[in-house]
A and B are shown apart, each in its own frame.
Chain A
Amino acid sequence: NAGVMQNPRHLVRRRGQEARLRCSPMKGHSHVYWYRQLPEEGLKFMVYLQKENIIDESGMPKERFSAEFPKEGPSILRIQQVVRGDSAAYFCASSPEQGRAFFGQGTRLTVV
C-alpha cells in the first residue's frame, strides 16, 4: 500500500502563472487535508475534503486558491496568478476516517 503521493515534489512558477498541486491519498482513504508550511513555521490548515465534497475551507484564501477531490483521480490544489508570497511547502494528508492522518512528502512551490 503506497503512502500518500504528492507531485510534483518541486514546482517553480513565475509570478502570474498557475500552480497545480496533486495529491493521491492512500488506498481506502476518503478524507484529504491540505496544509501550508513556511520555513521554520507550523502547519497552517487550508482545506479539508472528502470525495466530491469540500468539508471545511476556512483556511484557504478566497481568491486565487481552489481545491477539489473528484470521484476519480487525485485531489488538486490550484493556485491561480501566483505571487511571491505563495512560495511555501504544501503538504497533503489523508485519513480513512476522522483522525489518523498520514502526510505526503509535500510540494515545494517557489515563485520567481
Chain B
Amino acid sequence: GENVEQHPSTLSVQEGDSAVIKCTYSDSASNYFPWYKQELGKRPQLIIDIRSNVGEKKDQRIAVTLNKTAKHFSLHITETQPEDSAVYFCAASGGYQKVTFGTGTKLQVIP
C-alpha cells in the first residue's frame, strides 16, 4: 500500500519568512495530493490540492509543487503570519484507494 513520509515534524519560522514542508510517497499509481491544515482541537481542513497532471499550483500565499518522477511534493507558504500556526498534513491517493496521510508538521510562526 501507499506510504507517505513528511518532513520536518516541527518547524519554527519568523513572521514574514517562508515555510516549506516536504513529502514523499511510495505508490506510483497515486495521482492526487491534498494538503490539510489542522488547528488545535479542530478538524483538518483542505487548503490546497494538486493532481498528477500538474507540476505546480498556487493560491495566494500557498503553493504546492509535485515531482512525479522523484515522488516528491511540497507545500510552500510565503509571508507567514501567526494565524498560519497549525499542524499541516500532506496526503496521497489514487484510484479507489484510501487517502493516506503523512505524519504531520507542526508549524509555529513567531511574531
Contact B46 A91 (CB under 8 A): no
Segment at the A interface, from B15-23, B60-68, B87-95? B87-95
User: Ordered nearest first, which 3 A-B pairs have the shortest CB separation?
Assistant: A99-B32, A103-B43, A48-B98
Majority DSSP secondary structure for residues of B touching A: loop
Residues of chain B contacted by A101 (CB below 8 angstroms)? 34, 46, 99
Residues of chain A contacted by B102 (CB below 8 angstroms)? 42
Complex CA distance for A58 and B96, rounded to whole angstroms:
14
Q: Is A65 an interface residue (CB 8 A)?
A: no
| Total number of B residues with any Cβ neighbor in A under 8 Å | 24
Choose from B36, B44, B51, B101 the contact partner of A45 (Cβ within 8 Å): B101
Residues of chain B contacted by A42 (CB below 8 angstroms)? 89, 101-104
B101 to chain A, nearest CB (A): 5
Given contacts A58-B1, A100-B34, contact A91 B99 (CB under 8 A): no
Residues of chain A contacted by B42 (CB below 8 angstroms)? 105
A65 to chain B, nearest CB (A): 16
Contact B96 A98 (CB under 8 A): yes
B37 to chain A, nearest CB (A): 11
Residues of chain A contacted by B49 (CB below 8 angstroms)? 99-100
Binary contact track B72-106/A, C-beta < 8 Å → 1, others 0: 00000000000000000100011111111111100
Contact B98 A100 (CB under 8 A): no
A37 to chain B, nearest CB (A): 9
B103's closest neighbor in chain A, by CB?
A: A42
Pairs A–B under 8 Å by Cβ, sample size 25: A33-B98, A33-B99, A41-B104, A42-B89, A42-B101, A43-B89, A43-B101, A45-B99, A45-B101, A48-B97, A56-B97, A56-B98, A58-B98, A91-B43, A95-B99, A98-B94, A99-B34, A99-B93, A100-B32, A100-B34, A100-B49, A101-B46, A103-B43, A103-B44, A105-B43
